[in-house]
Amino acid sequence: MTSTRRLADLRASEIAERLSPSSVIIQPIAAVEQHGPHLPLSTDVIVAEAAVDAVVAERGAELDLWVLPTLAYGKSNEHLWAPGTVSLTASTLLAVLGDVGRSVASLPTRRLAFVNGHGGNTQLLAVALRELRVAHDLLSFLLHPSVPPDSGGRPPQLEVDTELGMGIHAGRDETSLLLHLRPELVDMAAAVSCVPAELAANAHVRFGGDVGFGWLSSDFHPLGVIGDPTAATVGWGKELFASMVANLGEALAEVGRFHFPVA
């Protein structure tokens, strides 16, 4: 019997023996897209995989977690202007998610958790959750491994928010995470700051506001940065990652316990 928690490493004959109705199937999903001149195209993949791997290493047996191979490509058309970005269409991604769900429905468990490393996937994943519930009777969940830690623990140089809450792409946090996880892939000499201060001043039409808007990353900077990567530090990346792993573990524990009140 293999000891892996990677579903694809099991033999078909092991599925019934190793998995149970309480098992949680994790599908990491991310993106291959531009992240400014200083971060690799694989930034979202690196962060999502590292967070999932860390949680499974810590709590995989306890929570009965099983990991599918990462879906590296997502919906990244806001970055298609940049060479190297690989984006699926909305219809293609929804079809892929539906096929994954149909396949998972043949397993002993009904619990499928998407761990999403790219914000551009979020709305389609939310649609997919209900489609999977209707089509395959799955308990489907969407988790994001990007919950920041308590600001009280920030290094002194991060006490002032140079991003005005607008650091959503290739900014301080993503750059700090990569400095912690894969420093050899980061070129801090190429990092540039682009904080949309005018947008931050809006009460409604802004990132995180109650009025949505269509955008491309090139609408804010010709290099596609939205945030201030120059404020990134290895220490902040380490702290941020630890908090992400802890929060993801807590969320997956609730996924494993979740049930609807009506049987």
Sheet of strand 111-116, all strands in order from the earlier edge strand to the far edge: 65-67, 24-29, 111-116, 139-143
Of 148, 178, 153, 183, residue with least CA distance to 163: 148
Task: Indicate whether 152 pLDDT > 50.
Answer: no
Instruction: Give the whole-angstrom CA distance, residue 189 versus residue 167.
Output: 19
User: Which of 118, 134, 107, 129 shows the shortest CA–CA distance to 15?
Assistant: 107
pLDDT digits (tens, 9 = 90+) for 216-257: 999 999 999 999 999 999 999 999 999 999 999 999 999 999
Half-sphere exposure for 3 (CA within 13 Å, toward CB): 1
Helix/strand/coil (H/E/C) assignment for every residue in 201-262: CCCCECCCCCECCCCCHHHCCCCCCEECHHHCCHHHHHHHHHHHHHHHHHHHHHHHHCCCCC
CA distance 29 to 72: 6
Q: Which CATH superfamily is domain 7-148+242-257 in?
A: Creatininase (3.40.50.10310)
- Look up the pTM and report it: 0.93
Q: pLDDT by residue (tens digit) across 26-76?
A: 999 999 999 999 999 999 999 999 999 999 999 999 999 999 999 999 999
Q: Which residues contact 192 (CB under 8 A, 6 or more apart)?
A: 36, 37, 38, 221, 223, 225, 229, 230
Cα(196)–Cα(41) distance, rounded to whole angstroms? 23
Taking the domains of the chain in order of start, what are their residue ranges? 7-148+242-257, 152-240
